[in-house]
């Protein structure tokens, strides 16, 4: 596991965010900040805007009003620097099913590979950690949904990004996979990283856990306006 992010400062803030989809307001006047050692869990019913907010924070969705900043600078002004410091995993496995796990991992880590000095030995070890030893060269279209998910998650062990943005990462995981991911998230924040996550999975025994319920926030605003 890389120590490269240990001393990197995480400072992501959102101020007065407003976003709507299909003429429906998903969130408004939304402000929060995430720093080193923080775990922010986004909650709310389907359609509350959790994935939209994650993509916005990852810099992949610019259809919003308000401000998002990284290290005190507007996100759009420092996006190249930010992209090297954040790891975004969407709600899908995010792999190419025609490739093998080791081929997928080489592709997934390629933006960081040269600077971080990531070699094949680390990639094989990462696949071993997620119990894919022996499947490294099996096409992913022959693996189960849970195994495919673990291929994508294996990059958490090798990419030295201090900020993780994770959309339902526990989906399709078995008991071992859930336990491994819980421990990996806890390790990351204990090592001064930060995590923003959507998940129906109950995250427990994490002192720095913050919970932001988008559905409840909007319900309260509507109730206050009635």
Q: For the residues of 70-119, what is the DSSP string, one character each?
A: ETTEEGGGSHHHHHHHEEEE-SS----TTS-HHHHHHHHHHHHHHHHT--
Domains of the chain, by residue range, sit at 11-225
| Mean pLDDT confidence for 148-158 | 96
Are 150 and 130 in contact by the 8 Å Cβ rule? The answer is yes
The structure's pTM equals 0.92
Q: Specify the pLDDT at position 40.
A: 97
Please, what CATH class does the domain formed by 11-225 belong to? Answer: alpha beta
CA distance 52 to 220: 20
Q: Specify the pLDDT at position 1.
A: 37
Q: Specify the pLDDT at position 3.
A: 45
Q: Specify the pLDDT at position 210.
A: 92
As given in the structure block, the two tokens for residue 27 are 């969130």
pLDDT tens for 1-37 read 334 444 468 999 999 999 998 889 999 999 999 999 9
pLDDT tens for 177-205 read 999 999 999 999 999 999 999 998 888 77
């Amino acid at each position: 596991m890389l120590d490269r992010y240990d001393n990197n400062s995480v400072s992501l803030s959102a101020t007065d965010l407003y976003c709507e989809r299909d003429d429906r307001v998903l969130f408004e006047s939304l402000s929060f900040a995430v720093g080193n050692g923080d775990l922010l869990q986004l909650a709310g019913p389907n359609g509350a805007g959790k994935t939209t907010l994650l993509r916005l924070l990852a810099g992949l969705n610019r259809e919003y009003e308000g401000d998002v900043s990284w290290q005190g600078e507007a996100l759009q002004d420092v996006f190249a620097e930010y992209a090297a410091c954040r790891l975004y995993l969407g709600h899908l496995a995010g792999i190419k099913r025609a490739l093998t796990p080791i081929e997928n991992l080489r592709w997934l880590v390629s933006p960081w590979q040269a600077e971080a000095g990531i070699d094949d030995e680390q990639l094989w070890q990462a696949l071993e950690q997620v119990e894919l030893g022996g499947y490294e060269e099996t096409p992913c279209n022959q693996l189960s949904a849970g195994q495919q998910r673990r291929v994508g998650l294996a990059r958490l062990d090798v990419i030295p990004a201090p900020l993780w943005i994770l959309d339902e990462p526990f989906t399709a995981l078995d008991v071992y996979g859930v336990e491994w991911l819980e421990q990996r998230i806890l390790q990351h924040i204990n090592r001064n990283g930060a995590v923003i996550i959507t998940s129906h999975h109950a995250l427990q025994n994490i002192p720095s856990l913050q919970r932001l319920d988008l559905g409840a926030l909007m319900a309260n605003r509507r109730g206050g306006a009635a």
